[in-house]
Amino acid sequence: MPPSLDKVVVFGVGLIGGSFALALKSAGVVRQVVGVGRTQGSIARALEMGVVDAIGTDASVVRGADLVLLAMPVGQTREVMHALAPHLDGSTVVTDAGSTKRDVVEHAHAELAGSLDRFVPAHPIAGAEHSGVGAASAKLYIGRKVVLTPLAQNSERAVALVRQAWEACGALVQSMQPEQHDAVFAQVSHLPHVLAYALVDEVANHPDAARLFEFAASGFRDFTRIASSHPEMWRDICMSNRDALLEALGRYQEGLVRMRALLEAGDARGMEDIFERARAARNRWLEALK
Amino acid sequence: MPPSLDKVVVFGVGLIGGSFALALKSAGVVRQVVGVGRTQGSIARALEMGVVDAIGTDASVVRGADLVLLAMPVGQTREVMHALAPHLDGSTVVTDAGSTKRDVVEHAHAELAGSLDRFVPAHPIAGAEHSGVGAASAKLYIGRKVVLTPLAQNSERAVALVRQAWEACGALVQSMQPEQHDAVFAQVSHLPHVLAYALVDEVANHPDAARLFEFAASGFRDFTRIASSHPEMWRDICMSNRDALLEALGRYQEGLVRMRALLEAGDARGMEDIFERARAARNRWLEALK
How does pLDDT run across A60-103, given as a tens digit for each residue? 999 999 999 999 988 899 999 999 999 999 999 999 999 999 99
Q: Decide if B122 contacts B146 (C-beta within 8 A).
A: yes
Asked if pLDDT for residue A264 goes beyond 80, the answer is yes
Q: Which DSSP state fits B171?
A: P
Residues in B touching A264 (Cβ below 8 Å): 242, 246
Q: Decide if B74 contacts B104 (C-beta within 8 A).
A: yes
Q: Are A211 and B256 an interchain contact pair (Cβ–Cβ within 8 Å)?
A: no
pLDDT tens column, B154-207? 999 999 999 999 999 999 999 999 999 999 999 999 999 999 999 999 999 999
Asked if pLDDT for residue B2 goes beyond 80, the answer is yes
Looking at chain A, the whole-number percentage of residues with pLDDT higher than 70 is 99
Domains of chain A with bracketed CATH: 5-176 (3.40.50.720), 180-289 (1.10.3660.10)
Asked if pLDDT for residue A129 goes beyond 80, the answer is no
Q: What pLDDT is recorded for position A242? A: 95
How far, CA to CA in Å, does B83 sit from each of A252, B118, B218?
42, 16, 46
Record the pTM: 0.87
Q: What pLDDT is recorded for position B129? A: 57
Q: How far is the first Cα of chain B from the last one, in angstroms, to the nearest whole number?
A: 28
Work out the burial of residue A26: count CB atoms within 10 Å of its CB; fewer than 13 is exposed, 13-18 middle, 19 or more buried: middle
Asked if pLDDT for residue A132 goes beyond 70, the answer is yes
Residues in B touching A266 (Cβ below 8 Å): 239, 242
Average pLDDT over residues B226-238: 92
pLDDT tens column, B105-154? 999 999 999 999 999 999 999 866 577 899 999 999 999 999 999 999 99
Asked if pLDDT for residue A125 goes beyond 90, the answer is yes
Strand pairing class (B67-70; B93-96)? parallel
Cα dihedral A113, A114, A117, A118 sign: negative
Q: Are A235 and B275 an interchain contact pair (Cβ–Cβ within 8 Å)?
A: yes
Q: Are B219 and A226 an interchain contact pair (Cβ–Cβ within 8 Å)?
A: yes
Q: Beta-strand (E) ranges in B27-175? A: 30-36, 54-55, 67-70, 93-96, 119-120, 122-124, 145-148, 172-175
When CB atoms are compared, the residue of A198, A200, A226 closest to B281 is A200
Q: What pLDDT is recorded for position B165? A: 98
How far apart are the CA of A258 and the nearest CA of chain B, in angstroms? 10
pLDDT tens column, B274-284? 999 999 999 99
pLDDT tens column, B55-68? 999 999 999 999 99
Residues in B touching A257 (Cβ below 8 Å): 253
Looking at chain A, the whole-number percentage of residues with pLDDT higher than 90 is 90
Q: What pLDDT is recorded for position B132? A: 87
When CB atoms are compared, the residue of B217, B271, B281 closest to A238 is B271
Q: Which of B147, B201, B247 to mutate against chain A (most A CBs within 10 Å)? A: B201
When CB atoms are compared, the residue of A215, A250, A252 closest to B199 is A252
Residues in A touching B266 (Cβ below 8 Å): 239, 242
Q: What pLDDT is recorded for position A48? A: 95
Per-residue three-class SS string for A59-111: HHHHCCCCEEEECCCHHHHHHHHHHHHHHCCCCCEEEECCCCCHHHHHHHHHH
DSSP A116-162: GGGEE-EEE----S--SGGG--TTTTTT-EEEE---TT--HHHHHHH
Q: Are A223 and B228 an interchain contact pair (Cβ–Cβ within 8 Å)?
A: no
Whole-number Å distance between alpha carbons of A173 and A164: 9
pLDDT tens column, A147-204? 999 999 999 999 999 999 999 999 999 999 999 999 999 999 999 999 999 999 999 9
Who wins on pLDDT, A290 or B60? B60
Q: For residue B269, count other CB atoms closer than 10 A to its CB.
A: 9
The predicted complex's ipTM stands at: 0.88
Whole-number Å distance between alpha carbons of B163 and B165: 6
Q: Decide if B47 contacts B55 (C-beta within 8 A).
A: yes
Residues in A touching B282 (Cβ below 8 Å): 200, 224, 227-228
Q: What pLDDT is recorded for position B289? A: 85
List Cβ neighbours of B217 (8 Å cut-off, separation of 6 or more): A125, A126, A127, A145, A188, A189
How far apart are the CA of B55 and the nearest CA of chain A, in angstroms? 29
Residues in A touching B256 (Cβ below 8 Å): 195, 198, 249, 252-253, 256
Q: What pLDDT is recorded for position A54? A: 97
When CB atoms are compared, the residue of A183, A216, A275 closest to B235 is A275
Residues in A touching B177 (Cβ below 8 Å): none
Q: Are B225 and A228 an interchain contact pair (Cβ–Cβ within 8 Å)?
A: no
Q: What pLDDT is recorded for position A128? A: 60
Q: What pLDDT is recorded for position A1? A: 74
When CB atoms are compared, the residue of B184, B209, B226 closest to A211 is B184
Name the CA dihedral angle for A126, A128, A133, A134, rounded to a multiple of 10 degrees: -130
Give the pLDDT band (50/70/90) at residue B41. confident
Asked if pLDDT for residue A135 goes beyond 80, the answer is yes
Q: Are A249 and B236 an interchain contact pair (Cβ–Cβ within 8 Å)?
A: no
